[in-house]
Structures are given as structure tokens and as C-alpha cells.
Amino acid sequence: MKLPFELVQPLVFFDLETTGLDVKNDRIVELALIKVTPQGDVLERVRRYNPGLPIPPEATAVHGITDADVADEHPFCRTSRSLNDELLAGCDLCGFNIRRFDLHMLIAEFKRCDIRFTLDGRRVLDMQNIFHREEPRDLSAAARFYLGREHEEAHSALGDIRTSAAVLGAQLERYPHLPQDLDALHAYCDEFSPFRTELDRWFGTAEEGHVFRRGKYKGEPLAQVAAKSADYLRWMLGVDDMDEDVLSLVQEAVAARAPPELPLSDPTNGSESA
């Protein structure tokens, strides 16, 4: 690998595949790296890990790694010390979107293994940063790309929507494979970037009803949590900025598990002194 600049210390390109995007609760299932030394040597490594929790279907759909694929692999902590000391120590880091995600996940995983992984003394290059700075993805850039003109009315509401409408027309002409009806276009956009309400962020649906998507009981049915840990739901009900739809659903779950009220005692029932 030929680089246009000299290296003072090794440069490691790396990428992670994970069970999800929650740094606190998700885990690494695969790490790949290419290490380039100042002498020009190149070392490639790929390793999979058993995350210790089920890999969600939506994550498998992205990277193709299943629970069976990692069932016999070591957990991350088993080899984390050698990864840090032998491959990453004293290296600069490089990757795509690593500043927003991969580095945070890697640091969190090392922390769970009682290893302090810091960026002190490292340079961090992110190709996504370069891409987005050099090729802006705003409406003005879309006008130049699809319409061949400048967006003269940028940041005026009416001007923005006029240009947006023109861009959509140009996109439909440029990409004949795009759906030509609103339902299908909606599905096309939603597949790439699903719009999730706060309720959607907290809960998914399954045969057993609403299932936690986040938090301490991620992956567990709401009804089951209400039965075994009502205190957690009461904590949710006490959070000041919790979404109203989330509160309503949690309140229903708590109410459904509340013990029935005892019937009022019958004053005529039982012995009375004569």
C-alpha cells in the first residue's frame, strides 16, 4: 500500500461489525484491520468474536454474521490484551465513520475488559469526514448535481421547497429504476433511513407484544418486565422528559400487572356480639 506521506508510526485502518449501534449494550462481532508500518510493511488481520448475546436479524442483514458463525469464537476480552499491545499500541488510526461510531465502540469494549484505550498521541483520519467536507450533501449541492445550477434562494423556506421539488423531478428522470408511485417511494426512503418515533426507539413488536429495543431489558417483552421488574417501569414513568406515548404504553403494562383490588368486607358477615 503506497501512501503519499511518510509515516512516523504505524497507521492502522480498521472496521468493526457489531450487534447494533448502541455502544453501551451492543458488542463487536468482527474486527478487521490493515496495519502499515513506516518501513512499508503491510499486515492484515480479521477476527470474529462471540458477543455473548444474540445477534439481531437486522444486524445480520447488514454484515451477514449469524449466531452460529460466532458460536465457537472467543469473547472480545479473551484476546483484547494482545490486540491492544501487539497491534494497536503506538499506532495512528484510520477508517470510514470511525470518529462517530467505531472508535466509541472499540473504546467501550476495551473498557469492559479493564483496558484503557485512549487517543492520546494518535492521529485519527476519517474518510467519511473528508468525503462529506469535500462533497457536501446539502440542498445546494443537490441543485448543482441534479439541476446544473446554483441554489440562489438557499435558506429561504419557499426557495428551498421549490428547489427540492425540482430535484425530485430530476432524480426520477436520472434513475429510471426508482419507483414511480408514492407508496413505493415511501418504502424506498424508509428502507434506507427509517423514521422512528421515540416509541419506536424504545419498543419493537413481536408475537409476545411490545419488546424493549434499548435499556437494561433490551430484547425482553414489556409484559415480562412488568411482571418481574415493575420498579424499572416505575423509574421510566418518573423520567421528566420521557415521551408521552412511551409513558402511556408503560402505564398500561404496569396497570395490567397490578393486583386486583380486594372486595370490601361485608359488615354483616362474621360473628357479632349479641
Say whether 44 sits in a helix, a strand or coil.
strand
Domain boundaries, the chain: 11-131, 136-192, 198-257
* pLDDT bracket for residue 210 (50, 70, 90): very high
Do the Cβ atoms of 84 and 31 come closer than 8 Å?
no
Into which CATH architecture does domain 11-131 fall?
Answer: 2-Layer Sandwich (3.30)
Measured distance CA(83)–CA(109) in Å, rounded: 12
pLDDT at position 264 is 46
Most confident range, picked from 106-115, 133-142, 186-195, 203-212: 106-115
Count of CB atoms within 10 A of residue 26's CB? 20
Residue 170 parent element (H or E): helix 157-174
pTM above 0.85, yes or no: no
* pLDDT bracket for residue 12 (50, 70, 90): very high
pLDDT at position 261 is 52
Measured distance CA(97)–CA(103) in Å, rounded: 9
Cell readout for 204 is 419493537
Cell readout for 197 is 418515533
Measured distance CA(160)–CA(172) in Å, rounded: 18
Cell readout for 239 is 423520567
